[in-house]
């Protein structure tokens, strides 16, 4: 693939561009972004080679749509309108059901692969792009059967070159599961940060007492609201369900504290310690390279 188009040259799109260029030094990386400053910075940093517009998409071999999910709903049909029959287009959104439904009946649905690489940081913009962001990370593919086989192969070869693990899932299941392991984590981080900020208004030295545990827990609260608000909106039903369960667990823990049942408090934490075994098992899996 010679002509790679990145729509959205921030952390996710920019990191794809860096790794693709490293794997395929002869390719040309074209950037599209409504933020002109981002495009200029991406050229300065060597993330993209040229700035282009949607009118140039007919030249693309590969198009990566790396913009907020609400913008993807609007942009994706137009992208498919513009590309050639030999072009593979994939998105990287954290929700999948609405996006898949949006292009379900598009004449070029076969050119689209619904993907969600589970990778990122709390930072945003071209300066946040890094080499190796996707190595060893899971990439969830939805409705793979709707994508033309020869075009699937192009995308899957790229994912393999970047060291990604592939999992296949239907869009509805994806959105439900990701609400638990990603979306709830971000809400928890935002709300913990809010709680401490409000306390800090009265006690100015509270942050002097904050250790690494607090810092790691609220790290996600530095994430972009412009990206996460549309995600919560598109996955509202699943997010509310996970919040209900989370709030019930918090209330239960509070009741144990009020009752001074610290044996039960201990047991709750000991039972939850099992999560380290699950996470260690996941982290021990090596990325697929074949």
Which tens digits make up the pLDDT trace of 115-174? Answer: 999 998 888 999 999 999 999 999 999 999 999 999 999 999 999 999 999 999 999 999
Residue 207 lies in a domain: yes
CA angle 147, 63, 286 (to 5 degrees): 70
Same domain (yes/no): 188, 128: no
Provide the CATH number for the domain around residue 221. 1.10.3660.10
Q: What is the pLDDT of residues 236-248, one digit of tens each?
A: 999 999 999 999 9
Angle at 274 between CA 269 and CA 280, to 5 degrees: 135
Q: How far apart are CA 107 and CA 109, in angstroms?
A: 6
pLDDT of amino acid 277? 74
Work out the average pLDDT over 189-210.
75
Q: Within this chain, do residues 22 and 113 fall inside the same structural domain, yes or no?
A: yes
pLDDT surpasses 60 at 75: yes
Examine the fold and report which residue of 137, 169, 201 is the final residue of a domain before the chain moves on: 169
Does 13 share its domain with 121? yes
33 conformational bin, left if phi > 0, alpha if psi -120 to 50, beta if neither: beta
pLDDT per residue over 214-227, tens digit each?
777 788 888 889 99
Same domain, 165 and 85: yes
Tell me how crowded residue 250 is: count the other CB atoms within 10 A of its CB: 11
Helix (H, G, I), strand (E, B) or coil at 139: strand
Q: Are residues 161 and 25 in the same domain?
A: yes
| 193 and 249, same domain (yes or no) | yes
Q: What is the pTM of this model?
A: 0.86
Give the DSSP H/E element, type plus range, for residue 207. none
Cβ of 182: how many Cβ atoms within 10 Å?
A: 17
Q: Is the domain of 118 the same as that of 195?
A: no
User: Is 288 inside a domain boundary?
Assistant: no
The reply to whether 162 and 210 lie within a common domain is no
Is residue 33 domain-shared with residue 157, that is, in the same domain?
yes
Enumerate residues 6+ apart whose C-beta is below 8 A from 231. Answer: 68, 69, 93, 94, 95, 183
| Confidence (pLDDT) at 117 | 96
**What's the confidence (pLDDT) of residue 182?**
92
Residue 22 sits in a domain whose CATH number is: 3.40.50.720
Q: Quick one: angle between helices 225-234 and 69-82, nearest 10?
A: 80
Q: Does any domain span residue 180?
A: yes
φ/ψ of residue 165, rounded to 5:
-90, 145
Same domain, 164 and 179: no
Q: Give percent above pLDDT 70 in the chain.
A: 92
Task: Report how far residue 217's alpha carbon sits from residue 22's, in angstroms, rounded to the nearest whole number.
Answer: 33
Say whether both 91 and 131 belong to one domain: yes
Report whether pLDDT(15) > 90. Answer: yes
Q: Which of 123, 139, 169 is the last residue of a domain?
A: 169
In a domain, 161, yes or no: yes
Q: Which residue has the tokens 């099992």?
A: 274
| Number of domains into which the chain is organized | 2
Degrees, nearest 5: CA angle 68-130-74: 15
pLDDT for res 217: 79
Q: Is residue 23 part of a domain?
A: yes
Of the candidates 134, 169, 204, which is a domain's last residue? 169
Say which residue the tokens 């002097």 belong to: 208
Average pLDDT over residues 266-286: 74
Q: How far is CA 50 from the centre of its chain?
A: 25
- Tell me if 98 sits within 8 A of 234, measured CB to CB: yes
Domain containing 107 equals 3-169
Same domain, 76 and 180: no
Helix (H) or strand (E) segment spanning residue 164 = none
């Amino acid at each position: 693939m010679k002509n790679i188009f990145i729509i959205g040259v921030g952390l996710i799109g920019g990191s794809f561009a860096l790794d693709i260029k490293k794997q395929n030094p002869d390719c040309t990386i074209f950037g599209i972004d409504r933020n002109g400053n981002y495009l200029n910075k991406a050229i300065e940093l060597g993330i993209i080679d040229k700035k282009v517009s949607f009118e140039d998409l007919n030249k693309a071999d590969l198009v990566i749509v790396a913009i907020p999910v609400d913008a993807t709903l609007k942009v994706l049909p137009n992208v498919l309108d513009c590309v050639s029959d030999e072009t593979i287009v994939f998105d990287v959104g954290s929700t999948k059901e609405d996006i898949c439904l949006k292009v379900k009946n598009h004449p070029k649905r076969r050119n689209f692969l619904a993907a969600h690489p589970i990778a990122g940081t709390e930072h945003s913009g071209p300066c946040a792009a890094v080499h190796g962001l996707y190595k060893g990370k899971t990439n969830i593919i939805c409705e793979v059967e709707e994508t033309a086989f020869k075009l699937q192969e192009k995308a899957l070869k790229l994912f393999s070159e970047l060291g990604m693990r592939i999992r296949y899932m239907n869009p509805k299941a994806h959105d439900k599961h990701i609400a638990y392991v990603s979306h709830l984590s971000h809400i928890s981080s935002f709300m913990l940060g809010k709680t401490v900020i409000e306390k800090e208004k009265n006690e100015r030295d509270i942050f002097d007492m904050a250790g690494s545990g607090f810092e790691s827990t609220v790290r996600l609260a530095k994430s972009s609201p412009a990206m996460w608000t549309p995600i919560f909106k598109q996955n509202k039903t699943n997010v509310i369900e996970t919040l209900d369960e989370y709030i019930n667990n918090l209330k239960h823990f509070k009741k144990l504290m009020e009752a001074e049942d610290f044996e039960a408090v201990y047991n709750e934490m000991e039972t939850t310690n099992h999560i380290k075994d699950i996470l260690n098992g996941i982290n021990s899996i090596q990325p697929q390279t074949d």
